[in-house]
Chains A and B, each alone.
Chain A
Amino acid sequence: MPREHVARQPFPALRFVLLIALSVAVMALDNRSHYLVGVRSVLSVVLYPLQSIAAWPEAIADSGHRWFGERSELAHENQRIKEEQLLLKARLQRMVALKAENLRLRELLGAAEAAADEALVAEILEVSLEPFTQRVLLDKGASDGVREGQPVIDADGVMGQVVRVTPFRSTVILITDPSHAIPVYVKRNHLRGILYGTGSQYVLDLPHMTPMSDVRSGDELVTSGMGGRFPIGYPVANVTTVRADPNEAFLQIQATPLAGLDRSRQVLLVRSRPESGLGDE
């Protein structure tokens, strides 16, 4: 240690108290208001290169795999994708017919046309966040049109929603986060409920269902569109266990998310067209 500083320095008590108060104030302000969005944006743009550097090992491994990947493996993958595409196209043809029919029926009923959803493809960045929070970082931000509260889905189901947007990145809270809730209904009988995260990647909680309600294990839960945040009809989870405890007022229902929360790299940011009514909050 440098000898000239052995003399004891006075403890900066005032500074300590001020900074502690400041951090608490910042937390309260950031939690309750939008005053600090600017600070966050500026800092995140400054930090952008750091996160890019951190993602290098994965990117290098990825491109290496692409360059040196086995030809047969690629051919196999190509084949698989072609088959899948064919299957999806066939399904889409039926969709088109159904959609036309649906439209006609809606016209007969005089109901408004259901809003079509637009989607933006984003990639989950291989950047670690806190291991105990259920959040991921996307490579699209405000400059790409991402907005706070936008639903995020993958090929299999709903993943979560955008909680923070900075110019080039956005943070997504997954449906498994304990502070997240999503309005759903049981696809079989349109029974409504609210699905909560538990902090575990494979378990969701469906509380407040009375013992009389008809929920069985294997039921599919889809978004109900209540609350206006998630568009209606996207698959969310499958019910795994339903337990009726006579001492409890409600059923204990657990479900597993359908989306590949720990597998998907590509996700879709859904945006309902503005004319879907139910304006902005």
Chain B
Amino acid sequence: MSSFVTRRTRRSRFRFFAVPLTFVVALVLMAVPLPDWALHWRPDFVSMVLIYWCLALPHRVGLVSAFALGLVVDVMHGGLLGQNALAKVLIAAVVIWIHLRMRMFPLWQQALVVLGLICLHQAVMLLTYNFTGGIQVNWRYLLPAVSSMVLWPWLFILLRDLRRASGTR
């Protein structure tokens, strides 16, 4: 009985850290240096983790979290403040809008939705670059969407297990 109680409390303590912790790991993964050939293939970890939590816990992780997270990414990238915030609020809104339907999708369909969402994210970012003089892009600009799609099923299962193990609700 006592062991059960301690387990509950440990779980509940971890509960508050599970979401921030995943975001921190995602942020680090976004900054880890990659070899040149892999640079454009880096999945958008931060957006994927955001999509997961908006899908699973829309009452805890929502638009405000997306905005704050976007600002953090902007500061890390040294770009214009608000670019990522805008893009991430948009994709979080879409996920919250369809979260009940999306939960019913099989994993591969969810992955397709993720592909669309990251494409939207990249498109919004491209628009906002016009504020500061624009950037030149080519087809490689959408590669993060493809790699995110491929990675989604694994990330989904990983985060789901983490959520259940930590008892996050």
Contact = CB atoms under 8 A, between A and B. Distances in A.
Contacts of A36: 81
Contacts of B20: none
Contacts of B70: 23
B34 A11 contact: no
Nearest to B41: A131
A5 B24 CA distance: 26
A187 interface: no
Interface string A193-227: 00000111000000000000000000000000000
**Main secondary structure on B side of the interface with A:** helix
Nearest to B141: A132
B78 A129 contact: yes
A50 B89 contact: no
Give the most central of A30, A50, A126, A131: most B CB within 10 Å: A131
B134 interface: yes
Interface string A109-150: 000000000000000001111111101010000000000000
Contacts of B40: 131
Interface in B55-104: 56-59, 62-64, 66-67, 70-72, 75-83, 85-86, 89-90, 93, 96-97, 100, 103
Contact of B83 (A8, A16, A27, A40): A27
B77 A30 contact: no
A90 B75 CA distance: 45
State which size class the interface on A falls in: 35 or more
Contact of A199 (B30, B62, B135): B135
B59 A5 contact: yes
Contact of B62 (A12, A135, A200): A12
B169 interface: yes
Contacts of A166: 75
A30 B24 contact: no
A63 B135 CA distance: 36
Interface stretch (A52-60, A68-76, A237-245): A52-60
